[in-house]
Amino acid sequence: MYDILAGFLVAILSGLGIGGGGLLVIYLTLSGVGQLEAQGINLVYFLFSSGAAMLVHMTRRKLNLPLIVVLALSGVVGAVCGSLLARSVDPTILRKTFGVLLFVSGTLALTAK
């Protein structure tokens, strides 16, 4: 039941553009899932939830398609590099780095004007 609620709430936050990926990884790791597995689950989850949100945005014509192409292509390269790098980094270091990045991004979001 908690998994259903977590998936639903993270999708709502993502649909709002808040970026719930960090929250899903936190939930999964607190539930006993390993860091790398949680990141993999997060990626598969967001294929579906972000796809649904994208369809809504596309119907409202709120998307800059040339920018999307550039970001998507560079994102594919970055995702492959990051995935390969994650396999060679100690999971403890990966988890701590992820935590620091979440803290910094959260602090910046809270203090932005």
pLDDT value at residue 75: 92
The answer to pTM > 0.75 is no
Per-residue pLDDT reduced to its tens digit, 74-113:
999 998 998 898 889 888 898 888 888 888 887 887 888 7
- Please give the pLDDT value at position 19: 67
pLDDT tens readout for residues 7-33: 888 888 777 767 666 788 888 888 999
Give the pair of three-digit tokens for residue 81.
């590099």
Q: How far is CA 94 from CA 3, 20, 83, 85, in A?
A: 23, 19, 12, 10
Q: How far apart are alpha carbons 45 and 37 in whole angstroms?
A: 12
Eight-class DSSP state of 89: S
Report residue 93 as tokens: 């270091």
8-state DSSP, 18: S
- CA torsion angle 81 87 92 97 (round to 10): 0
Give residue limits of the domains in the chain. 2-111
